[in-house]
Structure 1
Amino acid sequence: MSKSILHSTRLISLVTLGSRFTGLLRDMLIYSWLGNNWIQDRLNYAFLVPNIFRQLLGEGALSAAFIPVLTEKLRKSDQSAVGKLVGNVATILTVLLTLLTLVVFLVLGIFWWFSDRGDYANLTAGLTAVMVPYMIFVCVVALFSGLLNCMDRFGLPAFMPVIVNIAQVVGVIIAKYGLARMGIAQQHQVYIIGVSILAAGVIQLLWITQLVKKLGIHWKLDFSIDNPDLRRIVATMLPMVFGLGILQFSTFMDNQIMLSLSATETSHFTLYGYQIDYPLQAGALSAVNLARRLYNFPLGVLGIALATAAFPAFSRLSADNDHKGLAEMVSKSLRLAIFEGLPTGIGLIVLSPLIIRVLIQRGNFTPEDTAQTSFVLRFYAMGIWAYCCHHIIVRAFYSMKDTRTPLKVLSKTVILAILLNLTFLWIPAIREGVFGLSTTIMASLNVVILGIILSRRIGSLQFREIALSTIKTLIASGLMAVAVYFAAAYLPIGNKYIL
């Protein structure tokens, strides 16, 4: 594997590690402040809309369509042409997201008007309205991050999440030690988190645009829609937006299901005259959200960092039509992803209760919350290897400007995941754990199917070498799991050798 990719991966991993630690600090403070309750559920739900569009546009379709075109421009054109393209895309993106924000405001107003206007509806609509404008900032920041990545500047883009994490930490401190002492109710204190996220978005945008200018890329607002490069990007994006939209719709539905089927004021609902018990308890959405964040900690530091560093190299090899070189690099990247993902996932399965107890369990976050969250986390941890590999394979397709194939496969597996969720949600032994289980199954199927398709297109991905590497990693991970299990069982928390 190229030394530059390994160097970039180490840099991104180091900065991302800082991001994950500040994110962990944020979660420790927020969950100890709120616990797994209905307010926490609404806070997580409110952040869903900007987060969906961050993944759909900022880090998804737009970045994947923008980076290959930008890579060509950087190799063939001067910086003024690059600046013109960046300014044009950033302007159109800002206009579209502003219009979308206004539409969301309208929908929220209609929802609130026809709701019972109680505490639950007020907090859901109010928090969402505060946080929605953040999607404008985060998506434009992701666009400039893609530009910096193409210029082999990985540090600041990876640092961007640290800003929003620190802002939320400050928000919690203000709420706990300022607003609470003023007698403001907790369900109103939580609005400070939304305000802090918006402030972080402004800081992120100002910082990253200043660095871009220092690197000699001068851009300005450009509302033209007849730019051929813009049209290429849009043409590449559209099928991705459709496919990723299905995935984000699945995420939205998961959260909507958890919020709608969690017991709050009553333990049951009535349907066609029948009383049906809610399958979930209040706080289920919070438990799943925390489990997602905990498994995303190693995923971001390891898998996504590797994929981010490899993507520009994939794009260069594809631009040169070097399929053999691309296949070899993808194969090595997959082996490294499995080497990172398998032991990480197995470690989380064994240690999830202990990790959550040590890191999160304090304040209003109870032992029952720990048990609930660790149960969900184990299902997500089963698929960390697949999540890491999926990011690698998908970027290989994107580097060849093929956005349709991954999304065709994804759309089919998403349907399977939704069916699994709606079915197993009602089984008492699984309940909210099904959201982790379905995600693991979906990611694993995607990796296998896309890997086969990719090998047929660019040549062998050296599956034999990948299998041998996987077996060795699995054996080593199994030995590690046994050692860790007995260490955790016989060295209780409080021992001077453990946290």
Structure 2
Amino acid sequence: MSEKASSSTGRIAKSAGAVSGAVMCSRVLGLAREQVFAGMFGAGYAYDAFVVAFRIPNLLRDLFGEGALSAAFVTVFSDHDTNKGEEATWQLASNVLSFITVLLSLITLVGILLAEPIARLLAPDFAQVAGKTELTALMTQIMFPFLILVALAAVVMGMLNTKGKFFVPAMASSFFNLGSIIGGVSLAWLLPKFGQPAIVGMAWGTLLGGLLQLLVQLPALRKTGFRFRPRLNLRDPGLRRILWLMLPATVGLSATQINVFVNTNFAASCQEGSVSWLNYAFRLVQLPIGVFGVAFSIAAMPVLARHAAQKDMAGLRQTFSSSLVMVFSLTIPAAVGLMLLAGPIIRLIFEHGAFTAEDTARTAEALICYSCGLFAYSAVKIMVPVFYALNDTKYPVISSFLAVAVNVLFITLTIDRLSFRAIALSTSCSMVLNFLFLGFVLNRKLAGFALKQLAIGTLKIIAASAVMALGIIGLKMLLSSLLQGRLPMQLVGVALLIGSASLLYAAALHFLKLPEFDEITGKIKQRFRK
């Protein structure tokens, strides 16, 4: 690895470390939020309605949150920051913030007016249960403005990331979860006194959390020198370039949302609780996706964009390859661990109050199926920004539609036999296909990207993960009495399993000498020394 490439890798590992810590905090709070839902509402009528209601504004969140807007904005903002000076950069930022606010306010208004027809379209089988569609529509109306808040938060995050500030924006989602938990639980306790369902309080809590996610970033943004000046110039070349970059991704997003629509529709038609089981399981798998995939994506995006702006293709190739190996080194063992420990983890986190042993078993089955595609899901988070950096977004669009076709076909063929499990397994298969297709295209576009380094690194990671898996299986048998005991005993058992597995994997990978993993552990050691 060249000295320059090593510098980029180290910078990404350092930034990803800061982001990972913040995202870990957010995801843990997210799990606490799900524990609140599980304890108060279990899996069924109320939580099914909440999941579908939140999914409706969330269909647009991927576009205006962590998806197309974020990647397109960082690409253009980095180019302005590198080549056009501070004044032009801040003018672009003000213009984008104004445009997004106006556009999403109009979309939100339409969404609120059409909430009930949208709810009926997304989950038609809810109509078979009295009041379920109406409850879903009410919570959709409450949560739709969340879209505006999360989009503005994503633009602010992109500005801070480009200026080298990663920790504060990554911590912002922790405040979303805090607002959701504290505000939601308080209102869930209060609203039934006024004749409203308790779950509606959690919808208002979600909106409060979105507001906090935006506000907590503003002091850090002010310190960078940015001052918002309202301006709306639709002819601004920078804004037009962002929209042009977003256009193919918007088309691609429509494919993703078709997948979401298909999955939700199928899940709603399965036994009651299926929507909830799938959502609880996906929340768990989002922990490693966020801590590893999203963290490395956020850290790598400005570096990739800067390499592209400087026409440094060799640096871009090396940065991408190293980032991919680092992501694999963390997500492959995470997937293995989730598959082997699905039951004990879900029992520990969720099996309290209204959440039953049956819910634990069904959620564990969904989690195992989702975990199969964890490595691919996280890798795609790294791949898509490369296409943005290269100003070529048509291939992610093509890949998205291929994934839709595979998803619909797989679910149709297996839903009768696998029930809700077909949806989780299909999601994994679709994401693996997405990863393989994008990898093939990038290999050609970048004239090769250190395939030998990638293959050797992946084989070492698989070997170390196999050693870890054997250790988990043996230790799980020894600790079976703890894992079936009361909550404190379960906590000790799961902590021992995860801690031992992590140490065993780290030792195996250190013995196999993976440079990218040494970069990660080196940055961790530096942080602890400080």
Shift of 1:344: 0.6
Matched, 1:191 2:200: yes
Counterpart secondary structure, 2:217? helix
* Matched residue type, 1:455: N
| Other-structure match for 1:40 | 47
Q: Distance in 1 between matches of 2:142 and 2:163?
A: 34
Q: Distance in 2 between matches of 1:451 and 1:365?
A: 41
Matched, 1:477 2:447: no
So what's the TM-score if we normalise by structure 2? Answer: 0.86
1:420 to 399, 407, 410: 410
Shift of 1:164: 1.6
Moved over 6 A (4+): 111-117
Q: Deviations over 1:256-287 (max 9, x none)?
A: 3322x1xxxxxxxxxxxxxxxxxx21110011
Bigger drift between 235-244 and 466-475 goes to 466-475
Q: Given that residues 29 and 172 in structure 1 are in contact (C-alpha distance below 8 angstroms), is that contact kept between their aligned partners in structure 2?
A: no
Bigger drift between 80-89 and 123-132 goes to 80-89
Bigger drift between 357-366 and 433-442 goes to 433-442
Matched, 1:56 2:63: yes
Matched, 1:145 2:157: yes
Q: Distance in 1 between matches of 2:72 and 2:255?
A: 18
Counterpart secondary structure, 1:221? coil
RMSD over aligned CA atoms reads 2.0
Label 1:215 to 1:482 Cα distance change in 2 as closer, same or farther (>3 A).
same
Q: Given that residues 53 and 139 in structure 1 are in contact (C-alpha distance below 8 angstroms), is that contact kept between their aligned partners in structure 2?
A: no
1:203 to 212, 225, 234: 212
Shift of 1:176: 6.0
* Matched residue type, 1:452: F
Describe how 1:392-471 pairs up with structure 2 within 5 A.
392-427=382-417, 430-471=418-459
Q: Distance in 1 between matches of 2:452 and 2:119?
A: 57
Larger relative helix fraction: 2
* Matched residue type, 1:335: V
Q: Distance in 2 between matches of 1:170 and 1:72?
A: 40
Q: Deviations over 1:207-236 (max 9, x none)?
A: 323432231112222122111111111111
Shift of 1:108: 2.1
| Other-structure match for 2:493 | 498
Matched, 1:128 2:129: no
Identical aligned residues as a percent: 31
Q: Distance in 2 between matches of 1:340 and 1:59?
A: 21
* Matched residue type, 1:336: M
Shift of 1:141: 0.9
Q: Deviations over 1:300-354 (max 9, x none)?
A: 1112111210111111111122212211111111111111111110110000001
Describe how 1:36-435 pairs up with structure 2 within 5 A.
36-110=43-117, 118-174=130-186, 177-179=189-191, 182=193, 188-259=197-268, 261=269, 280-427=270-417, 430-435=418-423
Label 1:310 to 1:482 Cα distance change in 2 as closer, same or farther (>3 A).
same
Label 1:63 to 1:489 Cα distance change in 2 as closer, same or farther (>3 A).
same
Q: Distance in 1 between matches of 2:463 and 2:408?
A: 33
Shift of 1:116: 8.9
Q: Distance in 1 between matches of 2:211 and 2:189?
A: 25
Give structure 2 stretches of 5+ with no counterpart: 1-5, 122-126, 495-530
Number of residue pairs the alignment of both structures matches = 475
Q: Distance in 2 between matches of 1:383 and 1:460?
A: 24
Label 1:382 to 1:45 Cα distance change in 2 as closer, same or farther (>3 A).
same
Shift of 1:142: 0.5
Label 1:321 to 1:357 Cα distance change in 2 as closer, same or farther (>3 A).
same
* Matched residue type, 1:444: V
* Matched residue type, 2:87: S
Q: Deviations over 1:446-486 (max 9, x none)?
A: 22221121111112222222222222211221121121122
Q: Deviations over 1:239-259 (max 9, x none)?
A: 110111211221133113322
Q: Distance in 2 between matches of 1:222 and 1:179?
A: 40
Bigger drift between 298-307 and 167-176 goes to 167-176
Label 1:327 to 1:112 Cα distance change in 2 as closer, same or farther (>3 A).
closer
Label 1:196 to 1:347 Cα distance change in 2 as closer, same or farther (>3 A).
same
Shift of 1:398: 1.4
Label 1:366 to 1:323 Cα distance change in 2 as closer, same or farther (>3 A).
same
Label 1:140 to 1:111 Cα distance change in 2 as closer, same or farther (>3 A).
closer
Counterpart secondary structure, 1:498? helix
Counterpart secondary structure, 2:65? helix
* Matched residue type, 1:241: T
Counterpart secondary structure, 2:391? coil
Matched, 1:8 2:15: yes
Q: Distance in 2 between matches of 1:359 and 1:198?
A: 25
Counterpart secondary structure, 2:228? coil
Shift of 1:132: 0.7
Counterpart secondary structure, 1:216? coil
